[in-house]
Amino acid sequence: MSFKGELKITNFDKTKVKLNNLFYSKCVGDEFLVLQDQEASHATQVLRKKKGDSIHVINGLGSMYECLISDISKREVSCQINSRTYYEPSEYLTIAVAPTKNRDRLEWMTEKLVEIGVKKIILLQTQNTERTKTNKNRIQKKVLSAVKQSLRFYLPEVIEMTFDEVLKLDFQFKWIAHCEQDEKTTVLEDKSQDQVVLIGPEGDFTSKEITEAKEAGFLAIDLGTHRLRTETAALVAAARVK
């Protein structure tokens, strides 16, 4: 058996593709894919999907599969792939943000960043970062839920890095948001450009960190005249490139 066809498109148009629910699988073969654990449970126990039902599944890497459920077991749902659609990347922004002390605010922020559209979320450890340990697996689950809810096809990666490690990353454009008096720009590059924005903790970056970022090629950005919470600043920065 082979796919009925593969269509390459750059922009997803919700008016042309009717989707109610998306499922996620990383177990994808040439003819079949498998939903596992929570994805399988959500399909069969929550949405009451049955053998023979048609569903749409993403792999988090740009592909969406139209499938028929072929078999259901206790923890897995096997699906026959009928067609595959590949969506080219549309998000190029990385947000490197210091985790908030409050877990709920951190999880809410990551969900909203995904809904707005980011390529990657870096949980940034700075000198003034209040939360030094995060449940990355729990946050990644929140990200996956937001991806499916907002009908996206790429699963943003969540990683933890120190401030020094982030300064060494290679991007076309690099920005830092801080509260010190400085020459700042209010305009970010077009969303098709590979870029990163550094968002500090509630105590802001230290003067030393700001200097080191500038020496590494980061430019200061202005997110408004008022002081913002960490999670608000991250969302404002993400929205600037939309």
pLDDT tens readout for residues 147-161: 999 999 999 999 999
Q: Residue 188 has what DSSP assignment?
A: P
Model pLDDT, residue 177: 92
What is the rounded CA–CA span in Å between residue 213 and residue 215?
5
Q: Is the pLDDT of residue 181 over 90?
A: no
State the fold for domain 93-240.
Answer: Alpha/beta knot (3.40.1280)
For the chain, give every residue range classified as CATH 3.40.1280.10. 93-240
Q: Is the pLDDT of residue 171 over 80?
A: yes
Mean pLDDT of 97-118: 94
Which class for 227: exposed (0-12), middle (13-18), buried (19 or more C-beta within 10 A)? exposed
DSSP labels for 36-94?
EHHHHHIIIIIS---TT-EEEEE-SBSEEEEEEEEEE-SSEEEEEEEEEEEE-----EE
Least confident of 2-11, 63-72, 121-130, 201-210: 2-11
Model pLDDT, residue 43: 93
Model pLDDT, residue 179: 82
> What pTM did the predictor assign?
0.86
**E-state strands within 98-238:** 120-125, 157-162, 173-177, 195-199, 219-221
Q: Is the pLDDT of residue 162 over 70?
A: yes
- The residues pairing with 7 across neighbouring beta strands, listed in sequence order, are 85
- Residue closest to 52 by CA, chosen among 76, 85, 78, 28: 78
Instruction: Choose the CATH number for 6-87 among 2.40.240.20, 3.40.50.1820, 2.40.10.10, 3.40.1190.20.
Output: 2.40.240.20
For residue range 136-149, what is the model confidence (pLDDT) as tens digits?
889 999 999 999 99
Least confident of 1-5, 72-76, 105-109: 1-5
What is the rounded CA–CA span in Å between residue 87 and residue 82?
17
For residue range 35-93, what is the model confidence (pLDDT) as tens digits?
999 999 999 999 999 999 999 999 999 999 999 999 999 889 999 999 999 998 888 99
For the chain, give every residue range classified as CATH 2.40.240.20. 6-87
Model pLDDT, residue 2: 43
